[in-house]
Amino acid sequence: MAGWLSLAGAIVAEILATTLLARSDGFARAGIGVLALAGYALAFYLLTRALRTVSLSVAYALWSGIGTAVVATIGVLFLGETLTPTKVLGLLAVVVGVVILELSGREPRSEGAAAP
């Protein structure tokens, strides 16, 4: 359970960091840029903690997929980005891919594969 909570925290930190990065104006607003970097550092730290119990393929798919979908939604709702049919299709593809990976479960290692 701690791994999943760490993963959730990593996702939230990455979403906040990416949103702050967009608001940093290319680091012209240095304070906001530094907060974005701190958010990314926290996201990576929490992701490494999650990887203790959550498989890499599932954790990374959830982390990047949910982050991508939420950041795109934030962009449309709050940052004036447009929502095109192509963007919707791309986001749906990301979500479907994450769901498929999650449903696949853990596959057994092949012989000779290195243990973590």
Query: Does 9 map to a domain?
Result: yes
Query: Does 88 map to a domain?
Result: yes
Query: Does 53 map to a domain?
Result: yes
Tell me: pLDDT of 31 over 80. yes
Angle, to 10 degrees, between the axis of helix 85-104 and the axis of helix 56-78?
160
How far apart are alpha carbons 7 and 38 in whole angstroms?
A: 17
Q: Which domain holds residue 100?
A: 2-104
Query: Does 10 map to a domain?
Result: yes
For 64-87, how does the pLDDT look when each residue is reduced to its tens digit (9 = 90+)?
Answer: 889 988 999 999 999 999 999 998
Query: Does 72 map to a domain?
Result: yes
Question: How sure is the predictor about 110, in pLDDT bands with cuts at 50, 70 and 90?
Answer: very low
Tell me if 76 sits within 8 A of 82, measured CB to CB: yes
Q: How many domains does the chain contain in total?
A: 1
How far apart are alpha carbons 66 and 88 in whole angstroms?
A: 14
